[in-house]
Structure 1
Amino acid sequence: MAISIDSCAAMHIGDRSEQQDRLAIFPHPSRPGCMLAVLADGMGGHSGGAMAAEQVILKARQNFASYAPSSESPTEFLRNVIDDAHVIIKLTRFTSEQDPHSTAVVFMLRPGHADWAHCGDSRLYHFRNGALVARTPDHSLVEELLRSGRITEEQAETHPQRNLLLSCLGAERDPRIDTGGTPALQAGDAFIICSDGLWAYFPDEELGQTLHEQDARTAARTLIDAARKRAQGMGDNISLAIIKVVPA
Structure 2
Amino acid sequence: MEKYLITKFTTKGANKITNEDVVETVIIDDGLLCILCDGVGADSEPEVASKITVTAVKNLFDASKQKDYLERIKETFVDANDFLVKYSQQKKDNNPMTTTLDMLFIKDGLAYWGHIGDSRIYYFKESSLIQLTKDHNLIQKLLDEGFLTLQQAVNHPSSHILLKALGKENAEGDFSKMRLANSGSHKFLICSDGITGLVTDNELQEILRNDSETVQNNIISLVRSRGATDDYSFILLEKVNDDWKENS
TM-score, reference length from structure 2: 0.88
Note the C-alpha offset of 1:160: 1.7
Q: What corresponds to 2:196 in structure 1? A: 199
Q: Is the Cα–Cα contact under 8 Å of residues 99 and 166 in structure 2 kept in the other structure?
A: yes
Note the C-alpha offset of 1:165: 0.7
Note the C-alpha offset of 1:206: 2.0
**Residue type of the partner of 1:135?**
L
Q: Is the Cα–Cα contact under 8 Å of residues 43 and 97 in structure 2 kept in the other structure?
A: no
Q: 2:68 aligns with which of 56, 73, 98?
A: 73
CA distance, structure 2, for counterparts of residue 47 and residue 165 of structure 1 = 15
1:84 maps onto 2:79 in alignment: yes
Range 38-47 or range 127-136, more displaced: 38-47
CA distance, structure 2, for counterparts of residue 42 and residue 100 of structure 1 = 8
Q: Is the Cα–Cα contact under 8 Å of residues 146 and 153 in structure 1 kept in the other structure?
A: yes
Structure 2 residue runs of 5 or longer lacking an equivalent are 243-248
Q: What corresponds to 1:240 in structure 2? A: 234
Q: 2:157 aligns with which of 152, 160, 168?
A: 160
**Residue type of the partner of 1:203?**
T
Give CA deviations for 1:71-129 in whole Å, capped at 9, x if unaligned: 33121111122221111111122332243110100000112111111001010011112
CA distance, structure 2, for counterparts of residue 47 and residue 240 of structure 1 = 23
Give CA deviations for 1:5-64 in whole Å, capped at 9, x if unaligned: 111110111121111111101111xx33x0100000002568711121122211221123
CA distance, structure 1, for counterparts of residue 240 and residue 204 of structure 2 = 17
1:180 maps onto 2:176 in alignment: yes
Q: Is the Cα–Cα contact under 8 Å of residues 12 and 232 in structure 2 kept in the other structure?
A: yes
RMSD of aligned alpha carbons: 2.0
Give CA deviations for 1:161-212 in whole Å, capped at 9, x if unaligned: 111111111123x212111222124432111111100111222222123222
1:130 maps onto 2:124 in alignment: no
1:142 maps onto 2:136 in alignment: no
CA distance, structure 1, for counterparts of residue 24 and residue 153 of structure 2 = 30
Matched-pair identity in % = 25
Q: What corresponds to 2:3 in structure 1? A: 4
CA distance, structure 2, for counterparts of residue 93 and residue 161 of structure 1 = 26
Q: What corresponds to 2:217 in structure 1? A: 221
Note the C-alpha offset of 1:67: 4.1
**Residue type of the partner of 2:214?**
T
Alignment size in residue pairs: 238
Q: 1:101 is paired with a residue of what secondary structure?
A: coil
1:230 maps onto 2:226 in alignment: yes
Q: Is the Cα–Cα contact under 8 Å of residues 190 and 212 in structure 1 kept in the other structure?
A: no
1:95 maps onto 2:94 in alignment: no
Give CA deviations for 1:116-163 in whole Å, capped at 9, x if unaligned: 110010100111122023431000110011112211111111222111
CA distance, structure 2, for counterparts of residue 245 and residue 47 of structure 1 = 38
Q: 2:38 is paired with a residue of what secondary structure?
A: strand
Q: Is the Cα–Cα contact under 8 Å of residues 126 and 134 in structure 1 kept in the other structure?
A: yes
TM-score, reference length from structure 1: 0.88
